[in-house]
Structure 1
Amino acid sequence: MTMRTFASMAKPGVTSALPLKEIPGSYGLPLVDSLVDRFDYFVTEGAENFFKTRIQKYKSTVLRVNMPPGPPIVSDPRVIMLLDAKTFPTLFDLTKVDKRDVLTGAYMPSTDFTGGYRTAVYQDPSEKTHGKLKAFCFEVLKMSRPRIFPEFTKAFDELSVEVEKEFENEGKASFSDKVDDLIFNFLCRALIGADPVAPGPASLGNSGPTHLKTWLAPQLAPIASSGILPKVLDELTIHTITLPFALVSRDYKKLYDFVDTRGSALLDVAQNEMGLQRDEACHDLLFHIGFNAFGGMFILFPSIVKYIAKAGQDLQREIAKEVRGAVEANGGLNMKALESMPLLRSVVYEVLRMDPPVPLQYARARKDFMVESYDAQYEIKEGELLGGYQPLATKDSHVFANAEEFVPGRFLGEEGEKLLEYVLWSNGRETDESTVDNKQCAGKDIVPMVARLLVAHLFLRYDSFAVDESSSSAIFTQLTKAS
């Protein structure tokens, strides 16, 4: 078979002008090289440098590498990474890839953590239950719409009181340490229609976020940092020992009982209108709220605060002026007002571009096919695991000018609007629509909206703020109330 004939397999009837190349990189010796790669990824280089050094070494943005967790966790660490804006969207193309059980790569936590069910995020759209579960998720979001704005306002006001109290007493205040209450209470009140703090059957009191983070910890442990132990000790402990569900079963039962009891009207819809098993719908809803929504916002919200703080007071004055003008012109902070804040919207998308809350995406090749980077094409074989490190795709200099810089107004105007195609945080393009037939986040529209609400509330309450730039957390060192 000639190269020309071989290349034409990528798209019937079309011959690519790009040369066919072998995918560079090596998996090395079983176990040994996997552990070396994992040590580089977690300890010596960090994720972004891990990929950048290999791009430089192989002169390619498509390459083979061992990805965490790898041995001794029982999973195959061999992955083909797609590390540019052109190849990364291959992970969304369901004609080429299967999304079954690949949320976290080759590693999948035990279904014990989700009541024995594989939740929708671990299912491929071709599976029978996927469409029903995602349709239920859309219905929950639809029913929650009237509660989004008032419940976010309530949760933000509660957070502000605590932040200001700490700032007054300590001269600084941690936004990161308190934002989990805002997120958890908002999500429960808005999506479930019930206050987790309020007394009554299955009340969680003030312990909801603690139960949730406790439940999440062992699921994420093999692929994350403890944030407490030195990185080397992480490797010897949480990255090598599978933590059992029994350690967190009581925490999960409290969360499940809350959703089951207070969300009974939602579960009636799932059971009676969508043909889902009631307990499966409850476990799936809890996963969406706890793993997807809470987990994503817990990363995104502090990131937004840090980027805006570090951008300086000129940007902050511009956002404050825009927010307050829109609110005044539209009779309050409502949807019409929020849509009248283009700079704020651009800032949120720029944070999602720079620092997406879920940096890694995975898929498995459904068939043999060709993938094209900017300078070559490569053969992918059926069954191979593909991965993408999103921050490299969304900071691709082929697409974005000053790609490594935070540019607040990047998405303003007609040209800025065109760039939204390359914002990929939702497991799809920002210009695509999430449907029951794809794997794009069901909350693809609501997450940026709520992030915009956060920024709007910040500048209705404060003129400016600064953070401790030496900390990985968002810690206010300056907080000036709105004059």
Structure 2
Amino acid sequence: MASSGGGQGGGSTTTSAAAKAVPGSYGLPLVGAVRDRLDFYYFQGQDKYFESRIQRYGSTVVRINVPPGPFMARDPRVVAVLDAKSFPVLFDMDKVEKKDLFTGTYMPSTALTGGYRVCSYLDPSEPTHAKVKQMLLSLLLSRKDHVVPAFRSNFGALLDAVDADVAKTGKADFNTLNDATAFDFVGEAYFGVRPSATDLGTGGPNKAAKWLLWQLHPLVTLGLTPFIEEPLLHTFHLPPFLVKGDYKSLFAYFSAAAKQAIDIGEGLGLSRDEACHNLLFASTFNSYGGLKVFFPSLLGSVGGAGQKLHERLAAEIRGAVAEAGGEVTLAALEKMELAKSVVWEALRLDPPVKFQYGHAKKDLEIASHDAVFQVRKGEMLFGYQPCATKDARVFGATAGDFVPDRFLGNEGSKLLQYVYWSNGRETDSPSVHNKQCPGKNFVVLVGRLLLVELFLRYDTFTTEVGTELLGTSVNFTSVTKATSGPGSEL
């Protein structure tokens, strides 16, 4: 999803007398980075790690180490921007370079992507970036009319399974169902071919998950003791040959199913091979990986909000669908203002990609709410997005709460510029000149579609929420079928 931000941000080439040195400490060489990594994963956790550094140094712009650190990272030392005002410097392509920084201070082997540096690792200054980004934008535009029917077909079947599981056992595991369904949906929506209906079969999601782990393992924890996880996950790269067969199977599906999209890439000057590897990465890592994280988070937030919100969403969604003659249309979706606000609020609270990075292209001044700081050319800037998108100076006393109607009305719409989940402001648009996620609008659309499927079918439901490898885990614990309206026949 958020693979690739243009927008406003602090910074200039002049140094004012008011500019301060960035506070913070990297600690002793090697030892400091290892100690910080242990805090990050085991002793404090992500949120507390950053919050404690803000408190320690009295600043939301600080010098810290970020994982994975030695011996995997090129350099774990960063200048962290941890508030809503300083964070957007990471979107400004005049001020930061994004080359090889998608996963941050380390880069997975290109053996995992066919030998290519795919779009997410390219800076907009590199000619190939524009070609690949344009291919992805063109693909999304060409398939826009296929998204709604593909979603309804795939996720309607998912909710059939939820109904059956809840009736049988009193519980339905959404994450497991979503993993399989989202993979088929992405393939059908983008290319018109469900992966499970090809030689890839039902094994696609497991192969994709394994391939994703090989790239993200320096940034995850399996819940094991540090004595096992540190040498296994956070010290050395897992060897790519162990997922070579999985990747080969995925590539075979994309090379056959994505021929029209590959044609677009070839017309833009890419080789068919490079176009296919980029389509595989964007579809599997960005889109599928994003939906694996985002949908459980959205469902958990809505489920926990309770029946009053469910009644409001059901009324809005069913009313808009009824006005459209009982059809779920793009025009009907645009009328669902509360549903849009709910999706944006879920993305604000729990962005699918929490870390952003950039190298300063020149000496900069970066402004927080409280001060202006000097950053030197070449230094790595790092942003932990939840600190910025839950900034109480912007979102007030409820910054850490799920407020479904936060973005409604004129005042609510003014807050959208501080929603950064797509590696850019929600008020910006992805282009070949920035690194904002090409699927930004797609993600907001499918988030609304999930709400539509839920509230055409159910009056209300309950969930239990936990955590898993990449984020939130959710189980349905009860569902109450709709008794009237366009969804009552389901």
Task: Sort the TM-score into its range (normalised by shorter chain).
Answer: over 0.9
**AA in 2 matched with 1:76:** D
> Shift of the alpha carbon at 1:232?
5.1
Q: Does the 8 A contact of 1:124 with 1:130 survive in 2? A: yes
Query: What TM-score, normalized by structure 1, do the two folds share?
Result: 0.94
CA root-mean-square deviation: 1.6
> Shift of the alpha carbon at 1:117?
0.2
1:448 to 2:447 alignment: no
- Residue 246 (structure 2) aligned to one of 251, 261, 265: 251
Structure 2 gap segments, 5+ residues each? 1-9, 484-490
- Residues 134-153 of structure 1: pairs in structure 2 closer than 5 A: 134-153=133-152
* Alpha-carbon distance in 2 for matches of 1:61, 1:233: 33
2:215 alignment counterpart: 219
Q: Does the 8 A contact of 1:361 with 1:388 survive in 2? A: yes
- Residues 457-468 of structure 1: pairs in structure 2 closer than 5 A: 457-468=453-464
- Residue 207 (structure 1) aligned to one of 194, 203, 208: 203
> Shift of the alpha carbon at 1:230?
4.0
Q: Does the 8 A contact of 1:136 with 1:274 survive in 2? A: yes
- Residues 63-74 of structure 1: pairs in structure 2 closer than 5 A: 63-74=62-73
> Shift of the alpha carbon at 1:235?
2.1
CA deviation profile, 1:421-460 (whole Å, cap 9, x unmatched): 1000000000011111110100111110111001111111
Give SS of 2:99's match.
coil
- Residues 69-88 of structure 1: pairs in structure 2 closer than 5 A: 69-88=68-87
Q: Does the 8 A contact of 2:13 with 2:364 survive in 1? A: no
* Alpha-carbon distance in 2 for matches of 1:54, 1:266: 46
CA deviation profile, 1:341-391 (whole Å, cap 9, x unmatched): 111110000001111010110001111111111111111111101000111
Q: Does the 8 A contact of 2:146 with 2:189 survive in 1? A: yes
* Alpha-carbon distance in 1 for matches of 2:465, 2:111: 40
* Alpha-carbon distance in 1 for matches of 2:436, 2:240: 28
- Residues 151-166 of structure 1: pairs in structure 2 closer than 5 A: 151-166=150-165
Q: Does the 8 A contact of 2:210 with 2:243 survive in 1? A: yes
Q: Does the 8 A contact of 1:85 with 1:399 survive in 2? A: yes
Q: Does the 8 A contact of 1:216 with 1:291 survive in 2? A: yes
CA deviation profile, 1:40-87 (whole Å, cap 9, x unmatched): 000011111100011001000000111000112142100110000000
- Residues 464-479 of structure 1: pairs in structure 2 closer than 5 A: 464-469=460-465, 472-479=472-479
- Residues 43-62 of structure 1: pairs in structure 2 closer than 5 A: 43-62=42-61
1:408 to 2:404 alignment: yes
* Alpha-carbon distance in 2 for matches of 1:12, 1:261: 49
* Alpha-carbon distance in 2 for matches of 1:61, 1:23: 10
- Residue 386 (structure 1) aligned to one of 378, 381, 385: 381
* Alpha-carbon distance in 2 for matches of 1:364, 1:96: 8
1:434 to 2:430 alignment: yes
- Residues 11-160 of structure 1: pairs in structure 2 closer than 5 A: 11=12, 19-160=18-159
* Alpha-carbon distance in 2 for matches of 1:73, 1:44: 21
Q: Does the 8 A contact of 2:13 with 2:362 survive in 1? A: no
The alignment covers a number of residue pairs equal to 468
1:181 alignment counterpart: 180
Give SS of 2:461's match.
strand
1:354 alignment counterpart: 349
> Shift of the alpha carbon at 1:10?
5.3
- Residues 223-302 of structure 1: pairs in structure 2 closer than 5 A: 223-226=219-222, 229-230=224-225, 233-271=228-266, 273-302=267-296
* Alpha-carbon distance in 2 for matches of 1:211, 1:98: 32
Q: Does the 8 A contact of 1:159 with 1:181 survive in 2? A: no
Give SS of 1:206's match.
helix
2:487 alignment counterpart: none
1:373 to 2:372 alignment: no
* Alpha-carbon distance in 2 for matches of 1:398, 1:171: 43
Q: Does the 8 A contact of 1:225 with 1:231 survive in 2? A: no
Give SS of 1:100's match.
coil
* Alpha-carbon distance in 1 for matches of 2:477, 2:228: 32
**AA in 1 matched with 2:207:** H
* Alpha-carbon distance in 2 for matches of 1:404, 1:455: 22
> Shift of the alpha carbon at 1:132?
0.3
* Alpha-carbon distance in 1 for matches of 2:71, 2:387: 28
> Shift of the alpha carbon at 1:11?
4.6
> Shift of the alpha carbon at 1:154?
0.7
Give SS of 2:392's match.
coil
Structure 1 gap segments, 5+ residues each? 1-8
> Shift of the alpha carbon at 1:28?
1.3
* Alpha-carbon distance in 2 for matches of 1:164, 1:437: 45
> Shift of the alpha carbon at 1:405?
1.3
Q: How many percent of aligned residue pairs carry the same amino acid?
A: 47
1:325 to 2:324 alignment: no
1:5 alignment counterpart: none
Give SS of 2:260's match.
helix
* Alpha-carbon distance in 2 for matches of 1:178, 1:462: 18
Q: Does the 8 A contact of 2:299 with 2:474 survive in 1? A: yes
Larger relative contact order, structure 1 or 2 (CA cutoff 8 Å, min sep 6): 2
* 92-101 vs 260-269, greater mean Cα deviation: 260-269
**AA in 1 matched with 2:324:** N
Give SS of 1:466's match.
strand
**AA in 2 matched with 1:196:** P
CA deviation profile, 1:312-335 (whole Å, cap 9, x unmatched): 111111101111111101121111
Query: What TM-score, normalized by structure 2, do the two folds share?
Result: 0.93
**AA in 2 matched with 1:164:** D
* 160-169 vs 351-360, greater mean Cα deviation: 160-169
Give SS of 2:201's match.
coil
- Residues 300-311 of structure 1: pairs in structure 2 closer than 5 A: 300-311=294-305
Q: 1:370 to 1:327 in 2, by over 3 A?
A: same
Q: 1:446 to 1:470 in 2, by over 3 A?
A: closer
Q: Does the 8 A contact of 1:69 with 1:75 survive in 2? A: no
1:396 alignment counterpart: 391
> Shift of the alpha carbon at 1:161?
2.1
**AA in 2 matched with 1:417:** S
Q: Does the 8 A contact of 2:33 with 2:66 survive in 1? A: yes
* Alpha-carbon distance in 2 for matches of 1:436, 1:12: 25
Q: Does the 8 A contact of 2:12 with 2:363 survive in 1? A: no
* Alpha-carbon distance in 2 for matches of 1:231, 1:24: 29
